[in-house]
Structure 1
Amino acid sequence: MIRVLLIEDDPMVQEINKQFVEKVEGYEVIGCASNGIEGIRLIKQMKPDLALIDIYMPSQDGRTTIKQVRKENLGTDIIAITAASDMKTIRDCLQYGAIDYIMKPFKFDRIQQALSNYRHYHERMQKQETFSQQELDHLLFSHEKQKKAELPKGLNQHTLEKVIHFLQDKKEATSAEDVAEGIGIARVTARRYLEYLEQIGRVEIQIEYGGIGRPVNQYQIIRG
């Protein structure tokens, strides 16, 4: 599970953000803070993987908090979630190391996409010690291509992510039938997702020839 700390002074917004985060598979909210001072204390105490930080807060604002996280090398990644839309605030947050910037008001789809991107980034950083340029480019920029691409009718983002994660956990190529059984969908549905992933360059097909019957397509995620 990816452990998340919320730093937000509005209790209602705090609760909405908590519900949004916990709707995304693989995430749990481990704590909440109402200002930057409390947020820094909880980051040091709880060591979350990710902190969602508001900018406009009493006692210590989000910009100062993000800067302090980096200055003290606390190791928690940051997504800014704020109503601030001015260029200076955006630039400062990104320069201080925020990996994403979400403007209020926002819909669930936006935070879902941000958390999906972060999960991919987090998993790769946990598993690999070195990267080739191609692997790094894929890690940093492939989600931009995904956001621009509209899913074909009948496919949805949540199931697509489940298929991708299933394939990422497999060391060898696997069949549509195995994918279907693994995530609990029909084989014809699994094949549609796999064909889409092949079209956008996320998987490659390996044809397996058996002794009897037609050859079987095996699908493997392209790593990097």
Structure 2
Amino acid sequence: MTISVLLIEDDPMVQEVNKQFIKKIEGFTIIGVASTGEEGLKLVKDLKPDLILLDVYMPEQNGLDMLNKLRNEGSRVDVIAITAANDRDTIRTMLHNGARDYLIKPFKFERFRQALQDFKTYQEQLSGSGSISQYELDLIKSNGKPMSKSSGEQLPKGLNEQTLRQILRYLEKQEDALTAEETADGVGIARVTARRYLDFLQKSGQVKIEIQYGGVGRPLNRYTLVSLSK
């Protein structure tokens, strides 16, 4: 997937810096550059970009007015604000009108790359048709980083988001609690791998353990999803 980018920025030096930044990030291509909000509106209609990188302080029509006009016209094009405007009212207004991220000048390349890569992940995960589960949606909203309800713990090293989503999706479809072995067989991974993911999900409060006694041998741990509303 290649994401088309429209850059709207009135400062030629900043334009060039942002162009060079974009060229360093795989999966993005610049299809147009505008120096004013009026010019930007025309290019949005003509070029139909996937993403706009939008400044706020511009002549003729600023970024706030441009984004507001786009939304009033029904445009759902995604926007990342890149601006020196750091007052709360401007930030709140831009986010309210659907800016997916907000970068305050000056910023480092790593923050710029993070914004674009997060957007690319978001696009890939929501592309296509069909339904997704609440757990998958929560992962998308958190940029693929499942968080502990209480501690904000991120996904540990060695675990990946795709396998975690597969496990969550599989557990969500089950009516009964499952063992690590049953989960591993259902998802198609090793039992020790399934146990690592289940242990993480249990510690982060996303699954609960039911201990099953009886029979010969050690008791079995069975895992089931818990409600996100709890």
Q: Is the TM value for this pair above 0.5?
A: yes
> Are the aligned partners of 2:122 and 2:143 in contact in 1 as well (CA < 8 Å)?
no
5 Å-filtered alignment, 1:140-151, equals 140-143=141-144
User: Shift of the alpha carbon at 1:203?
Assistant: 3.2
For 2:91, the equivalent position in structure 1 comes to: 90
5 Å-filtered alignment, 1:53-202, equals 53-143=54-144, 196-198=157-159
Identity, in percent, stands at 46
In structure 2, distance between residues paired with 1:94 and 1:10: 23
> Are the aligned partners of 1:44 and 1:74 in contact in 2 as well (CA < 8 Å)?
no
In structure 1, distance between residues paired with 2:70 and 2:158: 37
> Are the aligned partners of 1:197 and 1:203 in contact in 2 as well (CA < 8 Å)?
no
Tell me the secondary structure at the aligned position of residue 99 of structure 2: coil
In structure 2, distance between residues paired with 1:130 and 1:150: 26
Instruction: Name the CA shift for 1:16/1:58 in 2 (closer, same or farther; >3 Å).
Output: same
1:113-137 deviation per Cα after TM superposition (whole angstroms, max 9, x unaligned): 0111100111122124322211111
> Are the aligned partners of 1:6 and 1:31 in contact in 2 as well (CA < 8 Å)?
yes
In structure 1, distance between residues paired with 2:125 and 2:6: 21
Hey, which of these two has a bigger chunk of helix by percent? 1
For 2:5, the equivalent position in structure 1 comes to: 4
1:176-217 deviation per Cα after TM superposition (whole angstroms, max 9, x unaligned): xxxxxxxxxxxxxxxxxxx9341x665368239xxxxxxxxx
For 2:210, the equivalent position in structure 1 comes to: none
Runs of 4+ in 1 over 2 A off after TM superposition: 127-131, 142-146, 148-151, 200-205
Instruction: Name the CA shift for 1:203/1:197 in 2 (closer, same or farther; >3 Å).
Output: farther
> Are the aligned partners of 1:43 and 1:74 in contact in 2 as well (CA < 8 Å)?
no
User: Shift of the alpha carbon at 1:149?
Assistant: 8.1
> Structure 1 regions of 5+ residues with no counterpart?
152-194, 209-224
> Are the aligned partners of 1:55 and 1:82 in contact in 2 as well (CA < 8 Å)?
yes
In structure 2, distance between residues paired with 1:97 and 1:114: 15
Instruction: Name the CA shift for 1:113/1:45 in 2 (closer, same or farther; >3 Å).
Output: same
Of 175, 190, 201, the residue aligned with 1:207 is 190
> Are the aligned partners of 2:139 and 2:146 in contact in 1 as well (CA < 8 Å)?
no
Tell me the secondary structure at the aligned position of residue 203 of structure 1: helix
TM-score by length of 2: 0.65
TM-score by length of 1: 0.67
> Structure 2 regions of 5+ residues with no counterpart?
165-183, 192-230
> Are the aligned partners of 2:51 and 2:78 in contact in 1 as well (CA < 8 Å)?
yes
